Amino acid sequence: MAFTLYDARDANRAPMVNPIVRMTPSQSQQQRLSIGRAPVLMAGLGVIVGALTALVVIGFRLLYESGQSALLPGGMLGNYEALPAWQRLLLPIAGAGLIGLYMRHAARSDPRTGIGFVIERTTYHEALLPLRNAIHQLVVATIAIVSGHSVGREGPSVHLGATAGSQVGQWLGLPHNSLRTLVACGTAAAIGASFNTPLAGVAFAMEVVVMEYTIAGFLPVIIAGVTATALARLVFGTGIVFSVPVLTIEGLHELPLVLVLGLLLGGLAAVFIRLLRIVGQALTHWPPLRRTLTGGLIVGLIGLVVPQVMGIGYDTIAATLAGELGIALLIAIVAAKLVATTAVIGLGVPGGIIGPTLVMGAAAGGAVGLVAESMIAAPLGGPALYALLGMGAMMGATLRAPLAALTAMLELTANPGIIMPGMLTIAAATLSAREIFQTDSIHHLALGERGLDPRRNPLLQAASRLGILQLIDPHCRQLAASTPADGIDAALAAPPSWLLHDAGQDGLPTRLSDPATLRDNRHAGRAAFAGSIPLLAIDEKASLREAIEQLREAGDAALLATRPVGHGTVEWQGIVTRTAIYRAYLS
């Protein structure tokens, strides 16, 4: 990065607070938010975002559960196995048709949804998540789950929660770096409210969405997760998702088997990720309706033979943990779930992948446990233990979220005995998928195919945590391009830091001059504003990353910080230079 604009007076000027300008308390809080030093305010916002996310996720869950209760025999959630064969075939097709029509008409302008979309907007678009995409997510995810598609509820919940956090920050006019934390709050709250797993929600938000751990960001995320989980428990109860007996390995002799399970699950995760990307890139020339109908047809045909793959699949996981499924059926579930999920999501039905990964991991782990039990004479932890380990391994390897996967295993079953073998299995699966099978996480692989990788530049990622408010120099004076010589002399008599001129159609100045250079031009008889540099407008709420990227692309320029004043108009607040950035953070 080249810092070409330098004024000698900058070396001694404190950029953090202008002593001449008296700030209101709200401006002071904005300054503190901009540098990540407003813990009490962010904690309060964590409570607000957690509560709002809980309400949204509870509403989403009640919506699709009421639809399932109305359609499925006996009103039993996930009981697609009890449907007649013709209904198992036609229900996913009908749901896919509705989704295709909705995406072609209502969501035509921007149909993107899901965790990958949240990561992209958080990293590259200042965590500004549009409300319309969340509405699309709510509608299509509800239809997909109710109609028996092989999708999960966690991905849509994360999108809804992250949008809730972003919208709160946008409505309050907070600096963009604060929006990242509020998006993490919404993500953690969504996972906590959906799974009844507050700790896993926090780990997931920090590992997958913002990809960093900081004390300033950690505390409001924890508070949001607790708030959302507490509210969800008021509606859905305090029971754990999967009730299983105490599970643990019988001795250190099981560790090699646990390691092998992790390696196998890493391979399964790699196959799932690659197939999902291949299917996602296929038939892109087809219109949305044809693509979704094809996915629905595939799910319906598979549901005729293996109905356990339909829906979210928590009932299938529960049956696996209870030892109710045999080896042949477990293997069939793995293969069928793999094909059904890649087909339906890859062909354009928006839904979550966490649920399907848990089903595949549980079935594969349960099958390995049954095979090992029949072949090894030594005492083993049992198929239920290996099913649980498989869930964590598959989730960790697919999402590259080992800590979130481990805490999810612990909180979903309240089984502390799985911590040590779970750590080994998840580590082996993650390394296997990454190093042996050379596969990135599902979301980062999709972003990488478009030339995007949030992890590529750690310095820019760190810059996303800071705002530019404290870097704005307000010691500026705007001059008209036609200012006469005596007007320029008057401005130079008591010079500000910078002189702004050449206003555009919106009234904002477009050029910047240093008073010293202006004075030299006057003495040398040159044009007064010779040697001026361009000014590029930037919102005062922008993050440091946005400022750096804008300066890097603009060459020799400075930034004019602006503030909206209503009716589509803005006013300037001061300038941000490369020197100010360098002195504050890089010197």
Residues 6+ apart with CB under 8 A from 313: 78, 150, 337, 355, 356, 358, 359
Burial of residue 25 (CB within 10 Å: 0-12, 13-18, 19+) is exposed
Predicted confidence band at 102 (pLDDT cuts at 50, 70, 90)?
very high
- The 3 state secondary structure assigned to 256-293 is HHHHHHHHHHHHHHHHHHHHHHHHHHCCCCCCHHHHHH
Question: Is the same domain home to 504 and 426?
Answer: no
Residue 186 located in a structural domain: yes
Q: What's the mean pLDDT when you consider all of the chain?
A: 87
How many folded domains does the chain comprise?
3
Question: Is the same domain home to 271 and 353?
Answer: yes
Residue 80 located in a structural domain: yes
Question: Is the same domain home to 27 and 78?
Answer: no
Predicted confidence band at 16 (pLDDT cuts at 50, 70, 90)?
very low
What is the rounded average pLDDT of the residues 190-207? 92
pLDDT 10s digits, 491-520: 777 777 788 888 877 788 888 888 887 778
- Inform me whether the pLDDT recorded for 290 exceeds 80: yes
- Inform me whether the pLDDT recorded for 309 exceeds 80: yes
Question: Is the same domain home to 224 and 267?
Answer: no
What is the rounded average pLDDT of the residues 560-586? 86
Residue 245 located in a structural domain: no
- The 3 state secondary structure assigned to 539-558 is ECCCEHHHHHHHHHHHCCCE
Q: Model pTM?
A: 0.89
What is the CB-side half-sphere exposure of residue 348 using CA atoms within 13 A?
29
What is the rounded average pLDDT of the residues 330-358? 93
What is the rounded average pLDDT of the residues 284-302? 92
What is the rounded average pLDDT of the residues 230-244? 87
What is the rounded average pLDDT of the residues 142-154? 93
Q: Quick one: pLDDT at residue 4?
A: 35
Of 140-144, 193-197, 377-381, the least confident: 377-381
Question: How far is Cα of residue 261 from the mean position of the Cα atoms in its chain?
Answer: 29
Question: Is the same domain home to 189 and 297?
Answer: no
Closest CA to 350 of 504, 200, 154: 154
Question: Is the same domain home to 366 and 278?
Answer: yes
- Inform me whether the pLDDT recorded for 14 exceeds 60: no
Q: Quick one: pLDDT at residue 216?
A: 67
Residue 246 located in a structural domain: no
Would you state the structure tokens that stand for residue 344, as one six-digit string?
Answer: 């339906």
Q: Which of 238, 264, 295 is the last residue of a domain?
A: 238
Q: Which of 213, 238, 263 is the last residue of a domain?
A: 238
Q: How many CB atoms lie within 10 A of CB 255?
A: 14
Higher pLDDT pick, 21 / 476? 476
Q: Quick one: pLDDT at residue 12?
A: 35
Question: Is the same domain home to 489 and 397?
Answer: no
Question: Is the same domain home to 152 and 13?
Answer: no
- Inform me whether the pLDDT recorded for 370 exceeds 60: yes
Residue 346 located in a structural domain: yes
Q: Which of 186, 212, 238 is the last residue of a domain?
A: 238
Closest CA to 428 of 565, 174, 229, 257: 257
Question: Is the same domain home to 54 and 114?
Answer: yes
Of 165-174, 247-256, 307-316, 549-558, the least confident: 549-558
Q: Quick one: pLDDT at residue 26?
A: 66
Q: Quick one: pLDDT at residue 150?
A: 93
Question: Is the same domain home to 358 and 427?
Answer: yes
Residue 3 located in a structural domain: no
pLDDT 10s digits, 388-400: 999 999 999 999 9
Range of the domain at 528: 8-32+466-586
Whole-number Å distance between alpha carbons of 92 and 366: 27
Question: Is the same domain home to 209 and 161?
Answer: yes
- Secondary structure E strands in 23-124: none
pLDDT 10s digits, 397-433: 999 999 999 999 998 888 888 899 999 999 999 999 9
Q: List the CATH number of the domain containing 297.
A: 1.10.3080.10
Predicted confidence band at 481 (pLDDT cuts at 50, 70, 90)?
low
Residue 490 located in a structural domain: yes
Q: List the CATH number of the domain containing 504.
A: 3.10.580.10
Whole-number Å distance between alpha carbons of 35 and 380: 53
Question: Is the same domain home to 28 and 40?
Answer: no
For 41, phi then psi, to 5°, come to -60, -45
Whole-number Å distance between alpha carbons of 251 and 378: 10
- Inform me whether the pLDDT recorded for 483 exceeds 80: no
Residue 457 located in a structural domain: no
